[in-house]
């Protein structure tokens, strides 16, 4: 996941290897949110010109909850920036989006889609060469940046200062934030998901964490967090999010997603969705 934001990620494990484990564990982030997890073999054959989907009439999306404001539960419904973006493509195809909550490592490795768990993945997922080896990506739909969050008064603004002060450092597992920290000589304590990473900071397991900027800014809207912690720095890592698809993606589905993103950026719909979830226009976030 890398808002800068998304997130997110360590080198992908082999899709075939991980796919073999899916039958043992359907998800790792909070359970199925309503989508069926039947094997893709149960799908009926698509009509000519229609996309190939794992469940007829639905565009099944894998994500990892919660990752506010990209995807999170609001009551019994999953909402967020990523949800609205994928909905554009779903409506274009005459499908209803159905969301499956599953471990992020299984998403970014391509195993979830290879095993027929979902048609697409939208999980604040940064496009990287390593991930491209196992999954296909749409055109970019979000420019992401990493951020450092820590206790007030630390007075640091760079990863070098984290090292120099020998501060305890944390990151979310399988994310580009973790990779970025390691490339800069740090050995972070790894947390399974973003809520556990934040809890690690709050419970004094670590002094500083790295996470996508939009996620950090969303956390800081909560008084119990803003009272004790602050945004220490925004790290421009040049990341972009993409919607993931099975390797060798169905061209009809890929085109629909790309067209939906491109059209939304041209007609103002994208800006409306962006402002809705981030409170600022594209380019103004951080």
Mean pLDDT of the chain: 86
Say what the pLDDT of residue 109 is: 95
Range from 2-11, 168-177, 228-237, 265-274 carrying the lowest mean pLDDT:
2-11
Distances, alpha carbon 125 to alpha carbons 38, 99, 229, in Å: 24, 16, 26
DSSP 44: P
* pLDDT value at 191 more than 60: yes
| CA dihedral sign of residues 64, 69, 75, 76 | negative
Say what the pLDDT of residue 218 is: 96
Say what the pLDDT of residue 12 is: 37
Say what the pLDDT of residue 173 is: 95
Round to the nearest angstrom and report the end-to-end CA distance of the chain: 17
Mean pLDDT within 61-82 = 96
> Are 8-142+240-278 and 145-238 in the same CATH fold?
yes
Say what the pLDDT of residue 50 is: 86
State pTM to two decimals.
0.79
Mean pLDDT within 53-79 = 96
Say what the pLDDT of residue 285 is: 84
Mean pLDDT within 191-195 = 95
* 16: Cβ contacts below 8 Å, ≥ 6 apart: 111, 114
Residue 40 or residue 285, greater confidence: 285
Say what the pLDDT of residue 33 is: 43
Q: How would residue 23 be classed by pLDDT, with cut points 50, 70 and 90?
A: very low
Say what the pLDDT of residue 116 is: 96
Mean pLDDT within 262-266 = 98
Residue range 93-152, pLDDT digits in tens: 999 999 999 999 999 999 999 999 999 999 999 999 999 999 999 999 999 999 999 999
Say what the pLDDT of residue 2 is: 52
- Superfamily of chain region 145-238: Periplasmic binding protein-like II (3.40.190.10)
Given CATH 3.40.190.10, say whether it is the number of domain 8-142+240-278: yes
Q: How would residue 1 be classed by pLDDT, with cut points 50, 70 and 90?
A: low
Q: How far apart are CA 120 and CA 118, in angstroms?
A: 6
Say what the pLDDT of residue 6 is: 39
Secondary structure class of 245 (helix, strand, coil): strand
Domain boundaries, the chain: 8-142+240-278, 145-238
Residue 253 or residue 20, greater confidence: 253
Residue range 27-61, pLDDT digits in tens: 333 334 443 333 333 344 445 578 999 999 999 99
**Secondary element (H or E) of residue 235:** strand 229-241
**Entry field: residues in the chain:** 286
């Amino acid at each position: 996941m890398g808002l800068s934001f998304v997130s997110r990620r360590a080198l992908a494990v082999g899709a075939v290897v991980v796919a073999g484990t899916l039958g043992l564990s359907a998800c790792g982030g909070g359970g199925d949110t309503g989508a069926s997890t039947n094997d893709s073999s149960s799908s009926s054959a698509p009509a000519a010109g229609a996309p190939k989907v794992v469940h007829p009439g639905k565009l099944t999306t894998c994500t990892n909850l919660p990752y506010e404001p990209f995807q999170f539960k609001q009551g019994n419904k999953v909402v967020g920036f990523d949800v609205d973006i994928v909905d554009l493509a779903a409506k274009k195809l005459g499908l209803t989006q159905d969301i499956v909550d599953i471990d992020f490592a299984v998403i970014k490795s391509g195993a979830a889609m290879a095993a027929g768990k979902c048609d697409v993945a939208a999980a604040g997922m940064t496009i990287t060469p390593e991930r491209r080896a196992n999954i296909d990506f749409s055109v970019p739909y979000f420019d992401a940046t990493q951020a450092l969050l820590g206790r007030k008064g630390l007075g640091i603004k760079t990863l070098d200062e984290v090292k120099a002060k020998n501060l305890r450092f944390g990151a979310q597992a399988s994310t580009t934030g973790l990779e970025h920290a390691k490339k800069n000589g740090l050995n972070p304590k790894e947390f399974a998901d973003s809520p556990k990473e934040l809890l690690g900071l709050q419970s004094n397991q670590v002094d500083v964490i790295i996470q996508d900027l939009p996620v950090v800014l969303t956390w800081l809207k909560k008084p119990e967090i803003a009272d004790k912690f602050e945004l220490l720095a925004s790290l421009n890592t040049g990341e972009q999010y993409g919607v993931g698809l099975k390797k060798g993606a169905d061209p009809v589905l890929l085109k629909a997603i790309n067209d939906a993103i491109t059209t939304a950026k041209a007609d103002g719909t994208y800006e409306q969705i962006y402002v809705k979830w981030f409170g600022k226009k594209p380019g103004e976030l951080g």
